Amino acid sequence: MSKLLSVKANKYGIVTFEKNSYSTAPELSLRELWLKAEAFTVTILDERYERVVTHARLYGEKQEAFNWYSYGISPRRDVLRCSSKIMDPSFVRALGAVPRH
């Protein structure tokens, strides 16, 4: 059994369902969307009912499901290598992202 609800994304493209937050995509910020909640998944649909993203359903309160790739961000630690020139090298090494030379 599933629920289909109308939701509105905030200025960051995040929607709230049962006191938990689910990411969509930044280009969908401040838009009316559809949320399909099933026992184990939450699917965000656009105004044409096309799937935007599917998350594992969160139970509890004040939890976040975030799809980093929708925002153009890689969650991998080794992406710090690209930005290590602007960061303190000792900090980057402490994270284990850049090997010592």
| Interval 10-52: pLDDT, tens | 999 999 999 999 999 989 999 999 999 999 999 999 999 999 9
Cα(74)–Cα(2) distance, integer angstroms: 31
Residues listed for the chain: 101
Lowest mean pLDDT among 43-47, 61-65, 94-98: 94-98
CB atoms within 10 A of CB 23: 23
CB 63 within 8 A of CB 83: no
Phi, psi of 9 (to 5 degrees): -75, 145
